[in-house]
Homo-oligomer: A and B are copies of this chain.
Amino acid sequence: MFLKKIKSEGLSHNSYFIGSENEAVVIDPRRDCQVFIDIAQQEEMTIKAIFETHRNEDYVIGSIELAQRTGAEIYHGSKLDFKYGQALEDGQEFFFGKLKLTAIETPGHTDESMSYTLADMDTSEKPIMVFTGDTLFVGDVGRTDLYGPNEAPRLAEELFDSIFNKLLPLGDEVIIYPAHGAGSVCGGDISQREESTLGIERTLNPVLQKKREEFIKHKVSEHHSRPTYFLKMEHYNLEGPPIFYNLPIPRPLKPKACWEQMKQGAIVVDTRKPPAFGGAHIKDSISIWLERIPSYAGWILPYDKPILLVLEDKNYLENAVRLLYRLGYDNITGYLVGGIEGWYKQSLPVEHFGLLSVHELKRRLNQENSLFLLDVREENDWEQGHIPGSVNIFSGYLQNRIKELPKDRPIVVICKVGNRASLGASILSQAGFKEVHNVLGGIIAWKNAGYKITKL
């Protein structure tokens, strides 16, 4: 038996490649699917089937391209009318090599959510592993808010039943393989640790310690962000996304060519880190640090305009493209040759932010009345602790709520560490706000410095 987890960093998403005796299946393949073909060749296996745990909302699934290139069949849950692939029945079995995969309906995260158990027939017919999709994570459970607040109680009940009546009874010894790890937008409190079993979760997962009513109440009261690109993903993952076979190839653009394209409406995304962006950036560019593309891009970037990239290092290009491609951005047409240095060597317009340490922020808050402190974290983070006097608008909503901000006061943007605040500050700057600052280290540094926090 061969089992490999394929992680998509940033999304904290896991695909799984499972094989035995030259036959393999893939669970939840990501869009850039060459990786599965490479593993199959390395292991001398044919991918016979692709199983989706549910219609994923946070990335474009690669099932169709992978199926086209390998001849595999695609399978889903039956409770959603997918435009491709085949619907599974609860309990349906699938044999490959010496393995048996069994489909289990585990609704709750979504109606069509499936889990898949795996038995090693060499040992026993008893399942020893379960692929839990977005139903059960290490240290947390799937979110139940995707159908809106009215449906949340029903979904929370179903999730409870799926976990307690269908998963946990498989046995304490069963190893779990969820669709997400820590950092995913699909679960608030997933553990940094990846290894777990049903027994560990049954006894140590905090959410599973709750009684049914308590569990439902907890789930219904949760706040999760729901990035705007989810709609696009849901559409793509229902209908099937465009197929490209290879990553898009953005062109290297000299600074002046880049500027010309900006004038024609191209969006410039600067993927450098906040200190570099704050230090110097192209006027009107948007700050999204490379590693946070999976988290922030889908809130902000349009699908219908060309996107140009500014990179710290040209070797980051492929990764930037890959991360955007997974979110359905196929419109990355160019990148700035020579990076920001290439730009400022041409004496083209450069802007800076104020970059404040928390100590500087403290001093200025003490001294300046006019300072407007904008906290761009999500609402429930803000509620759980913020700097007194700060106003909360989540960075994902900033473009729409920008009129609520005063144009005549210096604005200091703060978040948890400084990345979202850099994004927020870049949005303000683009909107014409003149004096904008980002707080390096954010609330974490503020707390580490021992400064005061208020709860709501």
Residues of B within 8 A of A22 (CB): 252, 254, 337
Contact A246 B246, beta carbon cutoff 8 Å: yes
Residues of B within 8 A of A452 (CB): none
Residues of B within 8 A of A171 (CB): 172, 199
Query: Closest approach, in angstroms, between the C-beta of A102 and any C-beta of chain B?
Result: 17
The segment from A107-115, A233-241, A427-435, A443-451 found at the interface with B is A443-451
For residue A276, CB closer than 8 A to chain B, the reply is yes
Residues of B within 8 A of A70 (CB): 249
Query: Closest approach, in angstroms, between the C-beta of A293 and any C-beta of chain B?
Result: 15
CB-defined interface of A4-34 with B at 8 Å, one 1/0 digit per residue? 0000000000000000001000000000001
Partner of A275, one of B191, B202, B276, B446: B276
Partner of A192, one of B46, B122, B358, B417: B122
Residues of B within 8 A of A191 (CB): 120, 122-123
For residue A139, CB closer than 8 A to chain B, the reply is yes
CB-defined interface of A118-133 with B at 8 Å, one 1/0 digit per residue? 0010111010110000
Number of copies: 4
Residues of B within 8 A of A246 (CB): 34, 69, 245-246
Closest to A338 in B: B44
For residue A341, CB closer than 8 A to chain B, the reply is yes
CB-defined interface of A226-256 with B at 8 Å, one 1/0 digit per residue? 0000000000000000000110010110100
CB-defined interface of A265-278 with B at 8 Å, one 1/0 digit per residue? 00000001111111
Contact B341 A417, beta carbon cutoff 8 Å: yes
For residue A390, CB closer than 8 A to chain B, the reply is no
Inter-chain pairs besides A44-B337, A274-B279, 5 sampled, C-beta below 8 Å: A1-B194, A3-B194, A128-B193, A345-B441, A347-B357
User: Which residues on A are within 8 Å of B, measured CB to CB?
Assistant: 1, 3, 22, 34, 37, 41-42, 44-46, 69-70, 120, 122-124, 126, 128-129, 139, 171-175, 191-200, 202-204, 245-246, 249, 251-252, 254, 272-281, 312-315, 317-318, 337-341, 344-347, 349-350, 352, 355, 357-359, 417-418, 440-442, 444-446, 448-449
